[in-house]
A = this chain, B = another copy of it.
Amino acid sequence: MTFYYNNIYINATSTVAGSYENSGPLSNYFDKTYEDFYINEKSWETAEVRLIKDSIDIVLNKLNKKLNKVDLFISGDLLNQLVASNYTARDLQIPFLGIYNACATSVEGLILGASLISGGLIKNCICSTSSHNNAAEKQFRYPVEYGGIKPLTTTFTATGGVSAFLSKKKGGIKVESSTIGTVIDNNIKDPYHMGACMAPAAADVIYKHLKDTKRDSSYYDLILTGDLGMYGSLILNEYLFDKYDIKMNNHRDSGCMLYDKKMSKVYAGASGPSCLPLVSYSYIFDLMKKKEYRKVLLVGTGALMNSNMVNQKLSIPSIAHAISLEV
């Protein structure tokens, strides 16, 4: 299911990151960073709300836009019931649609936003997402303070809030096309190996996008996946070649770019809905504006993991969505 767009732009983006992200190689690219997981809030959950709200303030400031001129807020996050997005929407007081495809949520949002603008239903929208390391660990696994030992395939949920402002007004990054993904389940049951769960979904949507658009992978200057991490990236490349005969010489994974490799605590790399936008909305879009990359395919990758289902020994289905961006 590939959509093509005419004159839809990501006019501006914003990135708000935590301390781990600020210790990584992209620290200079973020709009705002916090050194503390609590961010002057009483809980990690309300801290995550703050991350999104900050990112919305920043993106509106960049465009000198008032909130009451925004038609729609599309957002989702990793917290159960999309808590961070809901409490943000409460304070925005503009129409809201909640979405969830795990760590593919950012691209799902961009696709929906671009599609609703393209269809003439809205003029503009803000698409946001967030994740918070401690809030996610507590919810999906164990509280961080337990100090559980983890396998090396584990990824580290990024702490960040990110927003993108989309409209038909020329300026920024152009949204060229998008491909909505299908849920893929290769019977992986290991909640500490999300890269393995998600790689086949990423391969599937990359294959379908290239097939629908009749493009070769080399059409893109960069194919940027979301949060496969070191091992997931290896699996994606092998899987794509073995199953679809596709080679990518231009692939990078945001999960492998957000942190320094010497940060041992982050294991196989970064993950979480904010991971892909923290890398792309800052560093990659900057390179695009400098014309170092002209055509980029963002591939959001989401493991639809639920601890209750993992405890029932069920496999972890995954999904990926792709969006083609140009300057």
Query: A: which residues have CB within 8 A of B?
Result: 1, 3, 42-43, 45-46, 71-72, 76, 79-83, 86-87, 89-90, 92-102, 108, 111-112, 115-116, 118-122, 139, 180-185, 304-309, 312, 314, 317, 319
Report whether B80 and A308 are in contact in the complex, using a CB–CB cutoff of 8 Å.
yes
Decide if A115 touches B119 in the complex (CB within 8 Å). Answer: yes
Task: Take A71-B1, A80-B308, A86-B304 as given contacts and tell me if A96 and B45 are in contact as well, using a CB distance cutoff of 8 Å.
Answer: no
27 A-B pairs (CB sep. < 8 Å): A45-B308, A76-B100, A79-B306, A79-B308, A80-B80, A80-B306, A80-B307, A80-B308, A81-B306, A82-B304, A90-B317, A92-B183, A93-B183, A95-B181, A95-B182, A96-B182, A97-B99, A97-B108, A97-B180, A98-B108, A98-B304, A98-B319, A100-B100, A112-B112, A116-B116, A116-B119, A119-B120
Interface contacts beyond A80-B308, A96-B182: sample of 19 additional A-B pairs, CB < 8 Å, sorted by A: A43-B312, A45-B312, A76-B100, A80-B80, A83-B308, A83-B309, A86-B306, A87-B317, A90-B184, A90-B185, A93-B183, A95-B180, A96-B180, A96-B319, A98-B99, A99-B100, A100-B100, A118-B119, A118-B121
Number of copies of this protein chain within its complex = 2
- Known: A1-B71, A86-B304, A89-B183. Contact between A97 and B80, CB under 8 A? no
Q: Which of chain B's residues has its CB closest to A139's CB? A: B308
Nearest chain B residue, comparing its CB with the CB of A117: B119
Minimum CB distance partner of A308 in chain B: B45
CB pair B119 A317 closer than 8 Å: no
Top 10 A-B pairs ranked by shortest CB distance? A119-B119, A95-B180, A1-B95, A89-B183, A86-B304, A90-B317, A90-B183, A81-B306, A80-B80, A98-B100
Query: A181 to chain B: which residues have CB within 8 Å?
Result: 95-96
A252 CB → nearest B CB, Å? 25
When C-beta atoms are compared, the residue in chain B nearest to A205 turns out to be B95
Q: Which residues of B contact A314 (CB under 8 A)?
A: 46, 87
Specify which of A42, A46, A305, A309 lies most central, judged by the most chain B CB atoms within 10 Å of its CB. Answer: A309
Residues in B whose Cβ lies below 8 Å from that of A72? 1, 180
Inside 8 A of A82's CB, which chain B residues have their CB?
Answer: 100, 304
Within the complex, the shortest CB–CB distance from A317 to chain B, in Å, comes to 4
The docked-state distance in angstroms from the alpha carbon of A72 to that of B115 is 14
Interface contact A100-B115, CB-CB below 8 Å: no
The smallest beta-carbon distance between A115 and chain B, in angstroms, is 5
Docked complex Cα distance between A294 and B307 (Å): 45
Give chain B nearest CB distance to A272 CB in angstroms.
14
Distance in Å: Cβ of A7 to nearest Cβ of chain B: 14
Do B81 and A304 have beta carbons less than 8 Å apart? yes
Please indicate the chain B residues that have their CB under 8 angstroms from the CB of A45 in the complex.
306, 308-309, 312
